[in-house]
Chains A and B, each alone.
Chain A
Amino acid sequence: MFADYSMGELTAIFAMQGFAGLILFSVFVLMALGLAIIFGQMGVINMAHGEFMILGAYVTYLVSNLFATYIPFAFSIYFFVAMALAFVVTGALGMFVEWAMIRHLYKRPLDTLLATWGLSLILQQIYRSVFGAREVGVSIPDWMMGSLPLTDLIEVPINGMFVMVLAVGISIAIYVLMFRSTWGKQVRAINQNRIMAGAVGINTEWTDRLTFGIGCGVAGVAGSAFTMIGSTGPTAGQLYIVDTFLVVVFGGAGSLLGTIASAFSISQAQSILEFFLSGSMAKVLTLLTVVGILMLRPQGLFALKLRK
């Protein structure tokens, strides 16, 4: 399969596909981080995670239209406003969902799965009614268009770079939140022993709600970032949910580092395979490998010591 290409072309292919893989990696990381918080720390399966992402994307879409119509001179920075707003809106919805639904189901994880699936159907239909069934795209500010030529064969798109930078930034922010803030300490304490955490004075109910909200808010930011590289439709969230769950489970639930490592390996494998096989076969092979490894090593790549 390599015979038709010269050495230089092969390097360029690997570099370009590797870079495409890095963008995919950033996307996976953004998607999976929110889920890693919710699933890894709280043990809640949120099947509506994809719809929260799409909500972030739609918020970005609305903000971009708003800026284009009313304050066109500030259009080049609308994205940062949109991202903050996406975080707030999806986070607030997440906290509401936790209050209305999830908190009653903490003892029944499988039922949470079904209930959040129902929520995802409702959200999809709402998006379809409000924004229409067609996919919408946002207009990207000028400075994000185009690409940087590295050599004459290798070019990197700027919006892809931007998504990568964003993924790194959010990963660091979450690391700081989880391991350097009071909230993070409380979340980890509750994860280890809920009753004792409550006994030492942590407001477990509020922490749960905040955690769920932050997880959903990160999903919203991820959705916001998506609008930079693709368009958004009402059912787009459902396409990502299986990938995202596999990324989190493959990395080892509860381990942020594991999530990032598994997002990296899955995305690189998929995008490099994609060049040589058809896209669907690349995906099948990657997913099969992941499922196969999970069957042999159910605790995932980076397993925390678990106690039942």
Chain B
Amino acid sequence: MLSNSKTAFITPKEAIAFAILAALIFVVLPMALDTFRLNLFGKYLTYAFVAVGLVLCWGAGGILSLGQGVFFGLGGYCMAMFLKLEASTPENTAIQSTPGIPDFMDWNQITALPWWWEPFHSFGLTLIAIIAVPVVFAFIIAFAMFRRRVGGVYFAIITQAIAAILTILIIGQQGFTGGVNGITDLRTLNGWDIRTDEAKNILYFVNGILLFACLFAAHYVRKSKLGRLLIAMRDQEDRVRFSGYDVASFKIFVFCLGAAFAAIGGAMFTLQVGFMSPTLVGIVPSIEMVIFCAVGGRLSIIGAVYGTLLVNFAKTTFSESFPEVWLLGLGALFIAVVMAFPRGLAGIWADWIAPRIDGLFSRQSSSSAAPKTPAE
């Protein structure tokens, strides 16, 4: 479906799919949900950034990273550090033994702001750091591994180990990082209170727009020569190499791109939810993000968004009412999606629903029965 057009950036069918997703995110959800629930869906959508990055890395490129939580977390922590510094003015923290530093530092007997916190006084530098820190980190990992032609399972295990290391580090260095509670009690962004309902609504839309920017970027990559090379590499890496392409640099690029997406998602998470903690960095969230992508369909960037929304919605619903069932359900979902539906929701859509709709259109051309959600 996607590979047929060689020149057009977007085919009519894809345009419809994007439009439906846009309608869902920008019109249907805001109208149907109150601010609390909308904020919840905004949180889910921040995971969708990661899932979209995984579609590029894993679905197209065959690089399974089990450490995307690292990049999500780094982006989120960069944002959280800025917000925390803004919340920790000397006036607000006058009761501390050292006013002007974040409260958790004071609790841990640290008397001066560490030097690497200093850049986060500046909003501009923070915005740069949100993207730059995770991307540089991803670049180092990818450069070291892909240049030595490490891939597949080994890459997955090492990224997972990195996620574990970063979590232990954050929890262990609680004086500098807030420890297991993370960085909490965030208040304002450049003087603008992010805790009000109005701010939450605005942030939801900002989040949606950023997500669409990432979706278009991912779509562009998929359509470009790079996208086709990625798929070629996934299927026959040696042949691509023997054709004269530098396989490693393509892999490094796409891994860094995935990291950048995840970092944006992490920063938006911090803004919308109001805290950042190591529970979003470690092995478990990282692998859950992979399942969001797998449920949506590892080959479909739009499917990844629906997959994320669906799994998270199910998670919230089930774990609120039947916490025991949820883990069983999640486990079963992992197994089912791998064994029975390797292409996820997008595969079900392409195999079962899309042909019927095509049939409907060809029989009665005047019908305007647009598909409601491609996810179902």
Decide whether A and B are members of one complex.
Answer: yes
Residue A92 at the chain B interface, CB threshold 8 Å: no
CA distance in complex: A206, B165 (Å): 38
Those of A101-159 within 8 Å (CB) of chain B: 101, 104-105, 108-115, 117-126, 128-129
Q: Flag if A117 contacts B153 (CB, 8 Å).
A: no
Tell me the bound Cα distance from A104 to B153 in angstroms: 17
Q: Say whether B156 faces chain A, with CB atoms less than 8 Å apart.
A: yes
In the complex, are the beta carbons of A249 and B157 less than 8 A apart?
yes
* C-alpha spacing A104/B342, complex, angstroms: 12
Contacts of A101 in B (CB 8 A): 335, 339
Confirm or deny: A25 has a beta carbon within 8 angstroms of a beta carbon on chain B.
Answer: no
A288 close to B (CB within 8 Å): yes
C-alpha spacing A122/B333, complex, angstroms: 10
CB interface residues, A 208-264, toward B, < 8 Å: 238, 242, 245-246, 249
Known A119-B335, A121-B331, A284-B165; contact A291-B153, beta-carbon cutoff 8 A:
no
Spell out A's residues near B (CB within 8 Å).
Answer: 43, 45, 101, 104-105, 108-115, 117-126, 128-129, 238, 242, 245-246, 249, 278-281, 283-284, 287-288, 290-291, 294-296, 298
Chain A positions within 8 Å of B160 at CB level: 242, 245
Q: How far is the CA of A290 from the CA of B160 in the complex (A)?
A: 13
A45–B148 Cα gap in the complex (Å)? 21
Known: A110-B64, A284-B165. A118 touches B157 (CB 8 A): no
Binary contact readout B286-328 vs A (1 if CB under 8 angstroms, 0 otherwise): 0100110010000000000000000000000000000010011
Q: Which of B64, B330, B342 contacts A118 (CB 8 A)?
A: B330
A109 to B154, CA, bound (A): 11
Ranked nearest first, the 4 interchain pairs of A and B with the lowest CB-CB distance are A118-B334, A280-B172, A121-B331, A122-B331
Most buried by B among A123, A125, A290: A125
| Alpha-carbon distance A246/B290, docked complex (angstroms) | 21
Given A115-B338, A118-B332, A295-B144 in contact, is the A242-B161 Cβ separation under 8 Å? yes
Give Cα A140–Cα B46 distance, bound, in whole angstroms: 49
- The answer to whether A298 and B331 touch across the interface, beta carbons within 8 angstroms, is no
Tell me the B131-157 residues at the A interface (CB within 8 Å): 141, 144-145, 148-150, 152-154, 156-157
* A242 pairs with B283, CB closer than 8 A: yes
Does B164 count as interface, using CB distance less than 8 angstroms? yes
The answer to whether B145 and A242 have CB atoms under 8 Å apart is no
B252 contacts the other chain (Cβ, under 8 Å)? no
Check A105 against B338 for contact (C-beta < 8 Å).
yes
B162 within 8 A of A: yes
Q: How many residues of B contact A (CB 8 A)?
A: 43
Give the docked Cα–Cα distance between A298 and B148 (Å): 8
Q: Which residue of chain B has its CB nearest to the CB of A111?
A: B338
CA of A57 to CA of B352, assembled, Å: 46
Q: Say whether A119 contacts B331, CB under 8 Å.
A: yes
Contact of A295 among B64, B66, B148, B168 (CB under 8 A): B148
Complex interface: chain B residues within 8 A of A290 (CB): 161
CB-based nearest B residue for A109: B153
CB distance from A292 to the nearest CB of B (A): 9
Question: What is the interface of chain B, defined by CB distance below 8 A to chain A?
Answer: 58, 64, 66, 141, 144-145, 148-150, 152-154, 156-158, 160-162, 164-165, 168-169, 171-172, 283-284, 287, 290-291, 294, 324, 327-328, 330-335, 337-339, 342
Q: Chain B: which residue is nearest A287 at the CB level?
A: B165
Main secondary structure of the interface of A (DSSP, over half): helix
Q: Are B161 and A246 in contact (CB under 8 A)?
A: yes
> Are the C-beta atoms of B64 and A125 separated by less than 8 Å?
no
A123 cross-chain contacts in B, Cβ below 8 A? 331
B327 pairs with A122, CB closer than 8 A = yes
| Complex CA–CA separation, A124 to B335 (angstroms) | 15
Taking CB atoms, residues of chain A closer than 8 Å to B64 are: 110, 113
From A108, A118, A126, A279, B333 is in contact (CB under 8 Å) with: A118
Pair B152/A109 contact, Cβ less than 8 Å: yes
Assess the A298–B156 pair: CB atoms within 8 A: no
| CB < 8 Å neighbour of A284 from B168, B291, B333 | B168
**Is the CB–CB distance between B154 and A249 below 8 Å?**
yes
Given contacts A113-B64, A298-B150, 13 further A-B contacts (CB under 8 A): A104-B339, A108-B342, A110-B153, A111-B342, A114-B287, A119-B335, A122-B328, A125-B331, A129-B324, A245-B161, A288-B165, A294-B154, A294-B158
* A246–B66 CA distance with the chains assembled, in angstroms: 14
Cβ–Cβ < 8 Å partners of B153 in chain A: 43, 45, 109-110, 113
Partner pick for B331 among A43, A111, A120, A287, CB 8 A cutoff = A120
CB <8 Å contact, B338 and A295: no
Identity of the chain A residue whose Cβ is nearest the Cβ of B162 in the assembled complex: A291
Q: How far is the CB of B290 from chain A (nearest CB, A)?
A: 7
Residues of A within 8 A of B332 (CB): 118, 122
Q: Which of B168, B331, B333, B342 has the most CB of A within 10 A?
A: B331
Report the separation of the CA atoms of residues A45 and B71 in the bound assembly, to the nearest whole angstrom: 24
Shortest CB-to-CB span from B291 to chain A, Å, is 7
Give the residues in chain B near A111, CB-CB below 8 Å: 338, 342
Give chain A residues whose Cβ lies under 8 Å from the Cβ of B172.
Answer: 278-281, 284
State whether A280 touches B171 (Cβ < 8 A).
Answer: yes
Cα-based distance from A246 to B161 in the complex (angstroms): 8
Are A291 and B156 touching (Cβ within 8 A)? Answer: no
27 of the cross-chain contacts (CB-CB < 8 Å) are A45-B153, A45-B156, A45-B157, A101-B335, A105-B339, A113-B66, A113-B156, A115-B335, A118-B331, A118-B333, A118-B335, A122-B335, A124-B327, A128-B327, A245-B160, A246-B157, A246-B161, A278-B172, A280-B168, A280-B172, A287-B168, A291-B162, A295-B141, A295-B158, A296-B148, A298-B148, A298-B149
